[in-house]
Amino acid sequence: MNGSPKKVNSPVKRKPNVALNNLVIDEDVDNSDEIRPPKQKRSRLNSPPSSRSPKKQRTSPGSHNSRPKNMKSNALYCVCRKPYDSSKFMVGCDICSNWYHVDCVGLTEVQAKKADQYICPNCDKMKAKNKELYCLCRRPYDESQFYICCDRCQDWFHGRCVGVLQSEAQAIDEYVCPNCQSDSQINFANLKQLNAKDFENLKKLLKSLQTHRNSWPFLAPVDPKEVPDYHQVIKEPMDLKTVEKRLTDTSYDSLAQFIGDITKIFDNCRYYNARNSPFYQCAEVLEGFFVAKIKSFREAMK
């Protein structure tokens, strides 16, 4: 089992009013379009960057006071497409600069005044569509996964997609992704088509993992009866028994796919469990053991 009752970073949260999701109430506002891997580090797990921008006038008085300078008298505003009305309180979108009646977008005057940022529904949808995509799989950033940055193209890759484990990444002086150099020593071995001999050797490697004294949390799938919320937190569970079945069925085309499943076991464990838990420690030790084994395996595939 690679889970315990104590978990870290559960994504299962109660969702508030949709309109409130578009408000940021914080003196330090993060106006970055999305969470993404920082470019200054070569490898990382999950420490998203932040950017700051000065606050601007975002609400109109809704009284006898004069109209904000950036509002035109003959323009139409809000989802209701009506001209400015000094009797109605409005909130301005920080992306498109359009203005909205608070009652039209499901907010109150108090909520709008307290917020340091407001993003209208249309801009919120556009942000969701324009998420930056990473890796060979072209997916948005996922804080539960380990990433490594290519030193040539500067794109970020899931370790599990390119066959690089988190603990071995720190020992790589310069990482070049498969897109930039497919015939490098590590990429050639990771992407080479597996043959019958490779599968037999991988079965032996897997056996050494299964018999390791720190493999006990990962031998079989996590039992939902023992850890009820595990599958709510971990979306792609993996275990050594499942890997064994895939090897038996010759389901892997490349070494990178095999490494990807093993990496998934360790990533899941570290994401779900506290750093000082025995499960987390087992993942660290077993991953170190696996890195040494897979290094020898790659060298034998030359």
Read off the CATH number of the domain in which 218 is found.
Answer: 1.20.920.10
Residue 23 has pLDDT above 70, yes or no: no
Quick one: 96 and 209 in the same domain? no
Considering the domain architecture, whether residues 153 and 265 belong to the same structural domain is answered as yes
Mean pLDDT, rounded, of the chain: 79
**Between 132 and 208, the higher pLDDT residue:** 208
Question: Based on the structure, what is the number of domains in the chain?
Answer: 2
Spatial distance between the Cα atoms of 255 and 32, rounded to a whole number of angstroms? 37
The verdict on residue 189 lying in a domain is yes
- What is the average per-residue pLDDT within 35-63? 43
Are 228 and 296 in the same domain?
yes
Same domain, 123 and 228: no
Q: State which residues form the domain around 96.
A: 76-130
Tell me the torsion sign for CA atoms 267, 4, 232, 25: negative
**The pLDDT of residue 38:** 47
**pLDDT range class, residue 228, cuts 50, 70, 90:** very high
For residue 102, is it within any domain?
Answer: yes
Q: How confident is the model at residue 59 (pLDDT cuts 50, 70, 90)?
A: low
* Residues 124 and 192 both lie in one domain: no
Residues 235, 296 within the same domain: yes
Residue-level pLDDT at 90: 86
Q: Quick one: 236 and 102 in the same domain?
A: no
pTM over 0.75: no
> What pLDDT is recorded for position 140?
86
Task: With H, G, I as helix, E, B as strand and everything else as coil, classify residue 225.
Answer: coil
175 and 273 part of one domain: yes
> 103 and 167 in one domain?
no
Cβ-Cβ contacts under 8 Å for 9 (sequence gap 6 or more): 46, 143, 144, 233, 271
Residue with more model confidence, 187 or 66: 187
* Structural domain contains residue 272: yes
Instruction: Reply yes or no on whether the pLDDT at 33 is more than 80.
Output: no
- Per the domain annotation, does 262 fall within a domain? yes
Task: Say how many C-beta atoms besides its own lie within 10 A of residue 167's C-beta.
Answer: 18
Q: Report, in angstroms and rounded to the nearest whole number, the Rg of the chain calculated over CA atoms.
A: 25
Task: Report, as an integer, the average pLDDT of 148-176.
Answer: 89
Inside any domain, residue 123: yes
- Binning pLDDT at 50, 70 and 90, where does residue 5 land? very low
Predicted pLDDT of residue 12: 31
Of the candidates 102, 130, 158, which is a domain's last residue? Answer: 130
Q: How far, in whole angstroms, is CA 61 from its chain's centroid?
A: 40
Residues 97 and 210 in one domain: no
The answer on pLDDT for 164 being more than 70 is: yes
Comparing 240 with 160, which gets the higher pLDDT? Answer: 240
Mean pLDDT of the 182-189 span: 88
Asked if 164 and 289 sit in the same domain, the reply is: yes
